[in-house]
Structure 1
Amino acid sequence: MTTAAPDLADIEIRDPATDEVVGRVRPAGAGQVDDAVGRAVAASSGWARTSPGDRAGLVKDAAAAVRGVAEELARLNETETGRPYDDGLGGVLAAAGTLEQYAELGPLHRGRSLQGDWSATDLMVPGPRGVVAAITPWNDPVAVAAGLIGAALVTGNTVVHKPSERCPHLGRRFADLVASFLPDGVLTVVDGAGPTGALLSAHAAVDVVAHVGSIAAGRAIAEAAAGTGAKVLLENGGNDPLIVDDGVDPVWAAGQAALGSYANGGQVCVSVERIYCHAGVADEFLAALAEEATRWVHRPSAEGEKALGPLVDRRQREHVHAHVAEALQAGATAHVGGAVPDGPGAFYPATVLSGLTPRMRIVREETFGPVAPVRVVDSFEQGLAEAADDPHGLAATVLTPDMAHAQEAWRALRVGTVKINAAFGGAPGGAAEPRGLSGSGFGYGPELLDEMTATKTVHIEPCPPRHDR
């Protein structure tokens, strides 16, 4: 049972492009969290006994329904988080694809057997862990929720979902739609911010807490789980470096850096957060990057331009600008951007900085905004060493024509994903396991099915014949 109650004042949601109030939600308190978890517990046994094929069929039907309302969800995403419609639509369609993927993979998830003596067998059988608390973020809310919820459902778990308080209507619309295809209690939703998430993650009847969000929230969840025994899956964000090696085409490299830094306003878990550029290409790279930045615009984009929506809210803009202003005050140079624009909303321009030092906050911490901080280094080795000197461990990108450098980089960087010569990308079904402050556990791909299940070893021997006396 939960023991504390959060502040039950309504949460106000504003359109980050206009500052207009677009909704309010009442956060769930202890009683509502207890009720949601209780329903999940009550549904758990029946859902676990449902055949994998039947579970997968229901999830696949839900995926088709998500496709059917993709435009509605993308518009709602734009209204609540500011993500441009086309980008948001891509995220919703990716979510539907993820549900379909797990519907295919779920029935194929299997264990192993070991042969002992001729008459004995050991079975290693995966089974559902029970109740999964899925606590999801605002920056790609539908796609992330689809991954965690889909993997949990097809492996026989029930789910209580807490979407981000910054897009609660979107989160509830998606989850309620999926839940409409499932038995009662298999998927429930609770609204709220950090206090509600704390109640949910510390609930004694929750068996798994799967969280994508901040380092502070992830740390609090891990501490709570230490008391309840729940398994924890965390993706806490990162401070992802990009290394630009000597010999690359600086214009191409600038395009990759801009994409990595500015896509979704720099509000992607694996956004480029800091750039180490070899001095041999630095001048051309910085000029090309500054030109690229001017193509990311807040108005409807024309040919050759890309839409840059607002940040999720003004609080996030204040955080981003504090990093930039502190760097400028300490001697950095803004080639483009770096100032808060006039007018409504939470817009911030695509920004390019240089003249950075390793200890600046914009280098050491996650900014999560459309900022490309460039540090010029004398060698690939220096860039790699500085990129690796970081307690986060989510992802990294290396742009290099030298495959020996690529090989050294992917081995030396203590992160879950290393991308060589591409800021984004990866095969469908790919998985990653963050390190350090960035979290723990696989959050995507077939490996997430393993995370959502517990393996039970069963040793079987025949009973000896009865000897009548």
Structure 2
Amino acid sequence: MSPSVSSPASSAANAINAAAPGPGDTATLLTVHNPADGTLVGELAAANGRQVAAAVAAARQAAGGWASTDPADRGKALRSAAAALAARAGEVAALNHRETGKPLPEALGGVAAGVATLEQYAELGPVHRGHSLRGAALAADYTVIGPRGVAVLLTPWNDPVAVAAGLIGAALVTGNTVIHKPSERSPHTGALLGDLLSPFFPSGVFSTVTGAADTGALLTRTDGVDVLAHVGSSAAGARIARAASLSGAHVIRENGGNDALLVDAGVDPEWAAGQAAAGAFSNSGQICTAIERIYVHRDVAGEFCDALVREARRRNREAPLAPLVDTRLREAVHAQVRDAVAAGARLAEGGVVPDGPGAHYPATVLLDCARPMAVFTEETFGPVAAVQVVDSFEEGLALAAHDKYGLAATVLTPGIEPAHRAVAALPVGTVKINAVFGGAPGGSAQPRGESGRGFGYGPELLDEFSLVKVVHVGLPRVRGQL
């Protein structure tokens, strides 16, 4: 291992945004306010075109050396970076809390998940391997794997450390160089993450570029990028895919969701309502796999809806939800609620923008919902539980399967046969039976439809960042040999 890998280097070499502006460069500031009270968190300069080009050029120059670094040494560097993040977890979580409103315990959990993910990929990377193939008896046939090259990672604000750590860890440990652009809604958290991780890698191997959508667009259009990995909205993901169709970059996308919850007859309605509330209101609904639309069997609908309204009301009165990330998102969420009510939905709880500073929005329950209401056809990304009563499990399953998104879905049922039918029928990457959240480590799903493409996490993410080469070794003919 070279000294630059084994010991921390100055992070200045990786801080692309720190470069002094050149002639004609203009500086755009990213201004972030605390969504809880509207106070200023801070301002950061967005990278300009010259700085984006410099980041890609530096990553391209460093690619060969990092690709040839022993996988075990890449894993060792990643473990050191994970330890540095763990040592300052409280500081990172507090900054995340101020920027996005994410409750501090959940922000700490996100940092802990990020540390664990980096450590996981540090272990998985060195044992990520090719395969032996069956060929002729006197020949050797096998595959070898190598990095794709320069990876641009565009990550979201709703879980900025855990999501970024997954992509960063998998890309680096497989030998790719990385340019990370965190969301403009959490740029300080992303910049601090970069400052903590980058010193453990050679110059140019890992850099952070801050900016808004225009900076991300520049990165997707810059020559020399081999991978575009994006977690965020479906609209942004579609633009990235179009850009990649011209550049030839490999695309990994985990985008929006409109996850359904199907509540079958026979389940405990109080328990089912608790599951629905957790899925719809956790992190104020700002989770990619949040419950967006609920189909409940008529046999349990009355008790279920009453229990769901009681739980939303309890949360609003006893422990109000954390704010949404900003007032822009709140306006979008409230517009969907308002339009649903105008289209015939019944507002059973919440749905009113509170007075005072910040971007708070209450836990909201909408009954008598149906397509084409936007709360049933689009991602809401807020604390809204939208409910439709169905006459049979089959009707609910058909409605749940009818959607342009395909991220995840949950089925609450006492029967194994309905569970099997749901798994077969739902066109989504993840199906959860009798648990809104949870799952074994190592699971990795491929989203469908407008929810994205490719494996976005788990061991299979290493494959997404790798290229496979087939090797055939035959016997030579030696001079003089008959």
Question: Do they fold alike, i.e. is TM over 0.5?
Answer: yes
Residue 241 of structure 1 contacts residue 395 of structure 1 at CA under 8 Å; is this kept in 2?
yes
Residue equivalent to 2:124: 105
Question: 1:41-120, aligned counterparts within 5 Å?
Answer: 41-120=60-139
Q: Secondary structure at the match of 1:459?
A: strand
Residue 134 of structure 1 contacts residue 148 of structure 1 at CA under 8 Å; is this kept in 2?
yes
Residue equivalent to 2:244: 225
Residue 6 of structure 1 contacts residue 195 of structure 1 at CA under 8 Å; is this kept in 2?
no
Question: 1:77-226, aligned counterparts within 5 Å?
Answer: 77-226=96-245
The amino acid that maps onto 1:366 is E
Going from structure 1 to structure 2, the CA distance change for 1:120 and 1:6 (only over 3 Å counts) comes to farther
Larger deviation: 173-182 or 415-424? 173-182
Q: Match for 1:38 among 27, 33, 57?
A: 57
Task: Tell me how far 1:307 sits from its aligned partner.
Answer: 6.0
Q: Match for 2:297 among 262, 272, 278?
A: 278
Q: Match for 2:339 among 310, 321, 326?
A: 326
Q: Match for 2:42 among 8, 11, 23?
A: 23
Deviation string, structure 1 residues 277-303 (Cα, Å, up to 9, x no partner): 1111111001111111123348xxxxx
Residue equivalent to 1:302: none
Task: Tell me how far 1:450 sits from its aligned partner.
Answer: 0.6
Distance (Å, rounded) in 1 between the aligned partners of 2:226 and 2:320 = 41
Distance (Å, rounded) in 2 between the aligned partners of 1:297 and 1:329 = 23
Distance (Å, rounded) in 2 between the aligned partners of 1:69 and 1:279 = 50
Residue equivalent to 1:384: 397
Q: Which runs of 5+ in 1 are unaligned?
A: 299-304
Q: TM-score, normalised by structure 2?
A: 0.93
Distance (Å, rounded) in 2 between the aligned partners of 1:102 and 1:213 = 22
Residue 84 of structure 1 contacts residue 308 of structure 1 at CA under 8 Å; is this kept in 2?
no
Residue equivalent to 1:374: 387
Residue equivalent to 2:468: 455
Deviation string, structure 1 residues 27-65 (Cα, Å, up to 9, x no partner): 112110111111111111111111111110110111111
Distance (Å, rounded) in 2 between the aligned partners of 1:339 and 1:90 = 30
Distance (Å, rounded) in 1 between the aligned partners of 2:476 and 2:191 = 53
Residue equivalent to 1:405: 418
The amino acid that maps onto 1:270 is T
Residue 320 of structure 2 contacts residue 362 of structure 2 at CA under 8 Å; is this kept in 1?
no
The amino acid that maps onto 1:345 is G
Residue equivalent to 1:436: 449
Residue 228 of structure 2 contacts residue 250 of structure 2 at CA under 8 Å; is this kept in 1?
yes
Task: Tell me how far 1:420 sits from its aligned partner.
Answer: 0.2
The amino acid that maps onto 1:37 is V
Q: How many residue pairs get matched?
A: 459
Residue 6 of structure 1 contacts residue 196 of structure 1 at CA under 8 Å; is this kept in 2?
no
Distance (Å, rounded) in 2 between the aligned partners of 1:415 and 1:6 = 45
Distance (Å, rounded) in 2 between the aligned partners of 1:177 and 1:35 = 21
Residue 202 of structure 1 contacts residue 221 of structure 1 at CA under 8 Å; is this kept in 2?
no
Q: Secondary structure at the match of 1:445?
A: coil
Question: 1:263-342, aligned counterparts within 5 Å?
Answer: 263-297=282-316, 308-342=321-355
Residue 133 of structure 1 contacts residue 210 of structure 1 at CA under 8 Å; is this kept in 2?
yes
User: Which consecutive aligned stretches of 4+ in structure 1 deviate over 3 angstroms post-superposition?
Assistant: 5-8
Q: Secondary structure at the match of 1:338?
A: coil
Larger deviation: 145-154 or 37-46? 37-46
Task: Tell me how far 1:306 sits from its aligned partner.
Answer: 5.5
Deviation string, structure 1 residues 207-230 (Cα, Å, up to 9, x no partner): 000000111110111011111110
Task: Tell me how far 1:236 sits from its aligned partner.
Answer: 1.0
Residue equivalent to 2:430: 417
Q: Which runs of 5+ in 2 are unaligned?
A: 1-23
Residue 84 of structure 1 contacts residue 307 of structure 1 at CA under 8 Å; is this kept in 2?
no
Residue 336 of structure 2 contacts residue 374 of structure 2 at CA under 8 Å; is this kept in 1?
yes
The amino acid that maps onto 1:324 is V
Distance (Å, rounded) in 2 between the aligned partners of 1:382 and 1:115 = 49
Distance (Å, rounded) in 1 between the aligned partners of 2:25 and 2:387 = 42
Q: TM-score, normalised by structure 1?
A: 0.96
Distance (Å, rounded) in 1 between the aligned partners of 2:297 and 2:38 = 42
Distance (Å, rounded) in 1 between the aligned partners of 2:158 and 2:115 = 17
Q: Secondary structure at the match of 2:270?
A: helix
